[in-house]
Amino acid sequence: MAKKITRFHKFVMHNPFIQFFKFIYLNIKILNVVAMGHGGTRNSEKTD
Amino acid sequence: MAKVVVLGAGISGHTAISYLRKNLSKEHEVVVVSPNSNYQWIPSNIWVGVGRMKAEQLIFPLAPLYKKRGITYIQAKVTTFHPEGDKKTDKGFVVAEYVTGEQKGETVKVDYDYLINATGPKLNFEATEGLKPGTNKTASVCTYDHAQHAWNDFEKLITRMKNGENLKILIGTGHAKATCQGAAFEYIMNVEQELNRHKVRDKATVTWISNEYEVGDFGIDGLMVKMGGEMTSSKDLIEMVFEDRGIQWIKRAGVNKVEDGLVHYETLDGEHKTEDYDFAMLIPAFSGHGFNAYDKNGGDITQKLFNGFMLVDADYTQKPYEEWTVQDWPETYQNPSYKNIFAPGIAFAPPHGISKPRKSTNGTPIFPTPPRTGMPSGITAKLVADNIVEMIKKGTDDLHHLGSMGNMGAACIASTGFGLLKGRGVTITTNPIVPDYKKYPETGRINSKTIGDLGLAGHWVKLALHHAFLYKAKMKPFWWLIPE
């Protein structure tokens, strides 16, 4: 049985004011994950 | 003076071209060979497929941009590879066939000092009997042209529902080893939202069909995401979204045949089943383009370059799932036999899957193959371009720019409904893409960098990325500040 999205969660999901701050948070998070570098896995340090 | 030839002008090829041109002086030649006349921002195709965006909004012509930037553009499709040259020349070259203009059908030899194969996948609709888009009530969103046709068909379906008909919609994967579940997921969610917008949701049964062992696998073996402070599996997350939107799902299904309004599939249990529908969008299998390669004397050396996709610095030793490691994945995307040939993006041959391979009781493999679309395509293309620039400028053969999918983050921003205020999205970030259970024994990934989120903000992020990446692709001022 799948979990349900609660009414409160739906309110948060659709509230533009709250979502504006979420938008900023997500952009920072994505930048942090994607743009903060990548590298090899064999015998190297991060290079980019 | 060096000549760098890039095959393909999609997300990967165009990224490589952009960085090569930016970082190489004009004495070096950058050449593009692509059969396509337009650049397309593929992630937005799903919005074209539901009529919320015009194809023109996500494409632009390549020729004027390349002319302006001093990039030689040959609108042709590559047919054969000759990495050792031939009896007349020692320089490697490819043979390409013009696809347009007065020279259409004629071939041209394009020689190179460095070659980037960014030809992406062949959309292998033929691998599933009856799955040609536009036939048997099926559609595709793999290209902007396909997506436009998908919208034409979907629009007719909405009209029929408005006239009182109850109809069935089936969306997912159209082959037992298809990948790109994310695109199909986005499409089914956008279709469901549009049904609501047109007030015909109660007239439609919407069903997801997939080769995933569990929904939310996405070809990366699923993942544990941090959501609202708790660790949640992508299975639970996607099931929750499907449940909320009244979408049924069929999992562990290898589609093998499509007839007019009827899909045939085999399950991991070995059962052969069918599902009827009035409109279907099923992602085809991806395959290599079937290129051949020849040595200096004309001998066939295809196996030195391709196993379907292009061979690179991966460990292709066959081994069981339990022995897979992130070290198997390539770091430089350089062909081991010919050091001046590279294959970023979808063009490189992965060492194996990411999701656990499974076979039905009849022996049919049913599992997603690994995705390399989107961010990994751009990141790998940039690092290949950076390495080539360094090889040219410093005269070195050492490659310093590395990017394994086992040490690389990615974000999957899935639109689950279009609209500035009524839009919805699922945002998932993962780091690394390929789980590394030795380094991160708990989940295979860095928990703080593997997150999930539902809400309007996800849609805004996807929309912002649409505009940002088109800006970047058009090489407008300071485009390089936008990361891949």
Q: Where are the domains of chain B?
A: 3-123+288-405
Q: What is the pLDDT of residues B325-362, one digit of tens each?
A: 999 999 999 999 999 999 999 999 999 999 999 999 99
Over residues B90-97, mean pLDDT: 96
- Which residue in A has a C-alpha nearest to residue B425's C-alpha? A13
Contact: A2, B242; criterion CB under 8 Å: yes
Q: For an interface test with A, which of B459, B461, B481 has the most A Cβ atoms less than 10 Å from its Cβ? A: B461
- On whether any CB of chain B is under 8 Å from the CB of A3, the answer is yes
Query: B307 near B340, Cβ under 8 Å?
Result: no
- Which residues are CB-contacts of B25 (< 8 A; sequence separation ≥ 6)? none
> What is the per-residue pLDDT for A46?
47
In this prediction, residue B396 has a pLDDT band, given cuts at 50, 70 and 90, of confident
With CB atoms and an 8 Å threshold, state whether A27 touches B329: no
Given pLDDT bands bounded at 50, 70 and 90, which one contains residue A1? low
Tens of pLDDT, residues B274-323:
999 999 999 999 999 999 999 999 999 999 999 999 999 999 999 999 99
Backbone angles phi, psi at B207, to 5 degrees: -130, 135
Q: Which residues of B315-345 are buried (b: 16+ CB within 10 A; e: fewer)?
A: eeeeeeeeebbbbbbbbbbbbeebebbbbbb
A28 part of contact set with chain B, CB < 8 Å: no
Residues in chain B within 8 Å Cβ distance of A34: 375, 379, 409-411, 429, 483-484
Partner-chain contact B455 A13, CB within 8 Å: yes
Q: Which of B239, B402, B456 sits opposite A39 (nearest CB)?
A: B402
d(CA B218, CA B214): 9
Q: What is the mean pLDDT of residues B381-406?
A: 94
SS3 content of chain B, % helix, strand, coil (to 5): 30, 25, 45
Chain B CB within 8 Å of residue A46 CB: yes
What digits encode the pLDDT tens for the residues B165-213?
999 999 999 999 998 899 999 999 999 999 999 999 999 999 999 999 9
Out of B403, B429, B436, name the one closest to residue A30 (CB). B429
What SS3 state is found at B415? strand
Query: What's the pLDDT score for residue A35?
Result: 73
Whether chain A has a CB inside 8 Å of the CB on B326: the answer is yes
DSSP H/E element including B74: strand B72-74
CA angle B176, B181, B185 (to 5 degrees): 130
Better pLDDT: B451 or B210: B210
CB of B311 closer than 8 Å to CB of B326? no
Helices (H), B434-482: 456-473
Q: Are B445 and B432 in contact (CB under 8 A)?
A: yes
Chain B residues within 8 A of A20 when measuring between CB atoms: 457
Confidence at residue A32, expressed as pLDDT on a 0 to 100 scale = 86
Nearest to B407 among A23, A26, A40 (CB): A40
Helix (H, G, I), strand (E, B) or coil at B32: strand
d(CA B153, CA B191): 12
**pLDDT at residue number A44:** 53
**pLDDT at position A47 over 80:** no
Residue with tokens 């490589």: B16
Helix crossing, B11-23 with B456-473: angle to 10°?
50
CA-closest candidate to residue B267, choices B359, B205, B171 = B359
* Interfacial B residues in 415-434 facing A (CB < 8 Å): 421-422, 424, 427, 429-431
Please give the Cα distance from B315 to B165 (Å, whole number).
Answer: 54
- By Cβ distance, the residue of A15, A33, A40 closest to B431 is A33
Amino acid letter at B171?
A: I
Asked if residue B62 has pLDDT above 70, the reply is: yes
Distances (CA, A) of A33 to A41, B11, B221, B468: 17, 20, 19, 18
**Inter-chain residue contact A41 with B326, CB threshold 8 Å:** yes
Segment holding B367, helix H or strand E: none
- Residue keyed to tokens 């010919």: B338
In this complex, the residue of A19, A30, A47 whose CB is nearest that of residue B401 is A47
Which residue type is seen at B382? Answer: K
DSSP per-residue letters across B294-354:
B-TTS-B-HHHHBSSSB--SS------GGG--GGGS-SS-B-SS-TTEE--GGGBPPSS-S
- Interface probe with A: pick from B214, B251, B422, B429, most Cβ of A within 10 Å: B429
Q: Using CA atoms, how far apart are residues B350 and B109, in angstroms rounded to an integer?
A: 29
Instruction: Say if the ipTM goes beyond 0.85.
Output: yes
Higher pLDDT, B224 or B138: B138
pLDDT score of B201? 97
Q: Given a cut of 80, is residue B373 above it in pLDDT?
A: no
Average pLDDT, rounded, for chain B: 95
Specify burial of residue B264 (Cβ count, 10 A radius: 0-12, 13-18, 19+).
middle
Tell me the nearest-neighbour CA distance from A4 into chain B, angstroms: 6
Once rounded to an integer, what is the mean pLDDT over residues B54-70? 96
Q: Which residues of B fall within a CB distance of 8 Å from A8? A: none
Q: Which of B331, B383, B483 sits opposite A34 (nearest CB)?
A: B483
Contact criterion met (CB < 8 Å) for B458 and A26: yes
Token pair 């109809």 is at which residue? B167
Instruction: Tokens for B345, please give them.
Output: 């993006």
SS3 state of residue B260: coil
Chosen CATH of B3-123+288-405 out of 3.40.50.1100, 3.50.50.100, 3.50.50.60, 3.30.470.10: 3.50.50.100
Asked if B2 contacts B29 with a C-beta cutoff of 8 angstroms, the reply is yes
Cβ-defined contact of A4 to B454 (cutoff 8 Å): no
Q: Which of A39-48, B122-131, B360-369 has the lowest mean pLDDT?
A: A39-48
For residue B241, what pLDDT is reported?
A: 94
